[in-house]
Copies of this chain bind each other. A is one copy, B any other.
Amino acid sequence: MASILLKRLMSTITLKAAPSKAHHHGPLPATSFPAGFVLGGLHAGVKKKAGVPDLAVILSTSEHPTSAAGCFTRNAFKAAPVIVSDDILKRNGGYARGVVVNSGCANAVTGKQGIDDAWAMVKETDKLLPAKETSQFAHETLVMSTGVIGQNLPISKIVEGIRSSPKVLGSDFAAWERAAQAFMTTDTFPKLRSRTFTIGGIEYRMAGMDKGAGMIHPNMGPASTTFASTKQLHATLLGCIMTDAAVSPRSLQSALTYAVDRSFNSISVDGDMSTNDSIYVLANGAASNGTPVIDEETNPDAYDVFKRELTTFAADLAKLVVRDGEGATKFVTVTVKGAPSYRDAHNIASRISTSALVKTALYGEDANWGRILAATGSVPLLPSAAGAPAPVINPTKVNVTFVPSDGTKPLPVLVNGEPEQVDEVRAKEILSLEDFEVVVELGMGGDGEAQYWTCDFSYEYVRINGDYRS
């Protein structure tokens, strides 16, 4: 059949080297990295190719206590580093000073040996932490791994790498970038961002890196959370954010959980959830200069500002993953408005962003609102209370609009449930852009609104993932 012919044909095509997407990793100001962190990346030998960084070590050197929070994959097959890091965060009540990350091997589905290996990474990194009289914790390092599933780590190489890492640790731009490079697997560029923000007249910094290109549809929460039963579920995504603000452990976790739902949990490349997804945030207070610790209860105004900064920063990092999505040629923002609740809006935006028919239409630059509508209508809405009837979409209230990223006029394609006579030339103009937005207004009288970021589904995606043992 035609597919077999195509398969043969595609396997004989030597693709021209893809132009780099590295322009998305723009030059970052060298002065805006948080105080009190040293970090670096090096080649430990997990990856075969010599010199390619595959191990990152991040240490807080602050005198102030360093709070830490994590959001982990909700997958039932949690990888060893997820299990071990969750354990450490719980034991310490939300304090940790070190992070160690390897790429090239996920240490997932590796049984007892995998757990031992993850602990070995933690213990070796613990030894690098500056001695601190106040530290009462047995272990202060969180661990992350990404790469192939079902293979054991080359743990002696990794331990040797951690031991030798002090010679590469630094706090300048080159050190941050090298650490970000060590996170990469199929990523085509390192993903590093930094910013400054002000709370109560004091300037703080936030910087971080993430990775991910395929198996991207995270659903993370504080570990030991169970699935929200109605949540759409489906990446290895790893991320680590550092700030020199002082935040209480409880409020750091609460802010991270909120931020992750509106950032990393709002992106999809292929709708598949990984066993390793992990996001950590470390707040070391190195710039707090004796001001009160940021806390939701005792210091709500400061907390609100911090939560907002963390959320938009996390969204910036998350969008980089979609821009680097396997085979992606488009970056599409899906906005759902007028839903009964945020959760309903999020579920619908997720379904549209995951639909193979919507994503192939985006690739084909086709303003196919019928597929968007079918995806929207396939999501069950949530009852407002247990036992209450689920709300029902009124098709005659629904609007769908394509919004170009270049500031020119939006194009309504469905108005109050009635198809518009679409100007095909204008539709093609918008859909041929690399960036645009699809807005679905449900008109249900609620203020539920959510955004999702997705990419298109291309031949290249099939090639990357259909290749034998990719």
Contact = CB atoms under 8 A, between A and B. Distances in A.
A395 interface: yes
Given A379-B233, A380-B231, A149 B360 contact: no
Given A150-B419, A271-B355, A378-B219, A230 B229 contact: yes
A30 interface: no
Contacts of A390: 226-227, 229
B109 A233 contact: no
Interface string A95-133: 000000000000011010000000000000000000000
Interface stretch (A8-16, A54-62, A282-290): A8-16
A129 B190 CA distance: 70
Residue of A4, A6, A214, A233 ringed by the most chain B CB atoms within 10 A? A6
Interface string A1-44: 11111110110010111110100000000000000000000000
Given A10-B459, A13-B9, A417-B111, A466 B363 contact: yes
A109 B469 contact: no
Nearest to A414: B109
B7 A458 contact: yes
A398 to B, nearest CB: 8
Interface string A369-391: 11101111111101100100110
Interface stretch (A137-145, A169-177, A272-280, A292-300): A272-280
Contacts of A327: 2-3
Nearest to A413: B150
A461 B355 contact: no
Contacts of A270: 356-357
Interface string A413-425: 0100111000000
Given A271-B356, A460-B3, A374 B215 contact: yes
A466 to B, nearest CB: 4
Contacts of A149: 370, 373-374
Contacts of A209: none
A465 interface: yes
Contact of A19 (B1, B17, B386): B1
A272 B378 contact: yes
Contacts of A406: none
